Structure 1
Amino acid sequence: MQEHIRHLFSENIQTMIATSEALAGPIESSALMIVNTLINGGKIICCGEGASANLASHFAQLLLDQFETERPCLPAFALQRDNSSLQPVNQQNHDYLARQVRALGQAADILIVISLNGAEQSLIRATEAALTNDMKVIALTVDNSSELSGLLNQQDIELKVPAHRPARVIECYTFLLHCLCELIDMTLFPQQGEF
């Protein structure tokens, strides 16, 4: 069992190294896009499906409250999950995130989409709604995210993690979102001190 534990740590480390090599530039671009949006009065809208919805809420809360040091609140929120109790039995509603984007998103805002496979219809429709509203999109995706990836424009950023195992993807996404928080804080509030 200990050998397997060491293997899990090694797999995580290798995924992180591969991600840092592949995404250092896009992560920097994402942080700067978020900073510019906040400076210009926009807000950050986050969404995910299933486990990635928890990451969306976590990231929005870190921006709204604080990451590691006290600082002013930043305008960010996560879209609400589907309340299936309001849906007729056996009817799936893939439009619930898109409806929120259409109602709350504006051209000055960014939609952050966190996808585990690129095929979640609710996330695809939310992305379409954001693009229709002239919002920018930052998408956290994996290698097989062709449908979601295909929606993105030149102004949008895709952070495509080179991992396939869901556990490694979630771990990498969490670290990536924490990196963004630190870069945002470091840029907007340099007087808060070193991290």
Structure 2
Amino acid sequence: MTTTYSPAETLRTNVNQSQRAKAELLENGALIETFAAASEHLIASYKAGGRLYVAGNGGSAADSQHLVAEFVSKLARDRNPLPAEALTTDTSILTAIGNDYGYEHVFSRQLLAKLQPNDVFLGITTSGKSKNVLAALEVCRQKGVKSIVFTGFGGGPAAELADFALVVPGDRTSTIQELHIVLAHSICESVELALFPMDA
């Protein structure tokens, strides 16, 4: 039996799944409250001279770099750059730590070297189980630095370790990643609006 291949139907299915997940997110008052609290903490951290560090694997590594670009350059309008760094970009650091200590330490060891009291770490893991993100969250706890996590599939161990766990709905990794981008743009816009008011 031959399965009919329909790109148009694939697109319709994916858009419908995305819409359902976004509608479910909007109905999740606890998630929205956690998002607001995470945004307010990041705003306070920037006002205190802190930096944002972001990390994830695979597509979430790209999302980390995407988000950092919005903070350092701009999201929607001209304003001063904000200090942010993706822990996924320096190949010499990543391969040295991976070789010497194991891949699960590629983010945590960087945080041990960089984190200051007013900083924030944001981890992105669709499964909530990425060992290197979990190790980074553990370092944040050790240093008393607040952490945010974007995750899905119920949150996994990451939701227990992070100070602000944003566990989005969705039955597929791709849908969860789409919602993570919505969260990323929204948190960046929230910071922009707070630190650089429109009427300033």
For the residues of structure 2 that align with 1:111 and 1:18, how far apart are their CA atoms?
26
For the pair 1:17 / 2:38, whether they are aligned, the reply is: no
Q: Identify the residue that residue 7 of structure 1 maps to in structure 2.
A: 13
Could you say what the CA RMSD is over the residues aligned between the two structures, in angstroms?
Answer: 2.1
Q: Identify the residue that residue 34 of structure 2 maps to in structure 1.
A: 26
For the residues of structure 2 that align with 1:52 and 1:21, how far apart are their CA atoms?
25
For the residues of structure 1 that align with 2:32 and 2:145, how far apart are their CA atoms?
23
SS at structure 2 position matched to 1:190: coil
State which of 132, 142, 160 in structure 1 corresponds to 2:152.
Answer: 142
Q: Compute the TM-score of the two structures, normalised by the length of structure 1.
A: 0.88
User: Where do residues 19-168 of structure 1 align in structure 2 (5 Å cutoff)?
Assistant: 19-22=25-28, 23-80=31-88, 86=96, 88=99, 92-152=102-162, 156-168=163-175
Q: Identify the residue that residue 189 of structure 2 maps to in structure 1.
A: 182
Tell me the percent identity: 23
SS at structure 2 position matched to 1:80: coil
For the residues of structure 2 that align with 1:68 and 1:136, how far apart are their CA atoms?
27
5+ residue gaps, structure 1: none
The one-letter code matched in structure 2 to 1:186 is L
For the residues of structure 1 that align with 2:73 and 2:95, how far apart are their CA atoms?
30
For the residues of structure 1 that align with 2:77 and 2:152, how far apart are their CA atoms?
31
CA shift in 2, pair 1:192/1:75, >3 Å? farther
Q: What is the CA deviation profile of residues 99-132 of structure 1, one whole-angstrom value per residue up to 9, with x for unaligned ones?
A: 0010001121110010111111111111111111
For the residues of structure 2 that align with 1:60 and 1:174, how far apart are their CA atoms?
12
Q: What is the CA deviation profile of residues 55-84 of structure 1, one whole-angstrom value per residue up to 9, with x for unaligned ones?
A: 111111110110010100001111135657
For the residues of structure 1 that align with 2:122 and 2:166, how far apart are their CA atoms?
11
Q: Compute the TM-score of the two structures, normalised by the length of structure 2.
A: 0.86
SS at structure 2 position matched to 1:37: helix
For the residues of structure 2 that align with 1:48 and 1:192, how far apart are their CA atoms?
35
The one-letter code matched in structure 2 to 1:75 is P
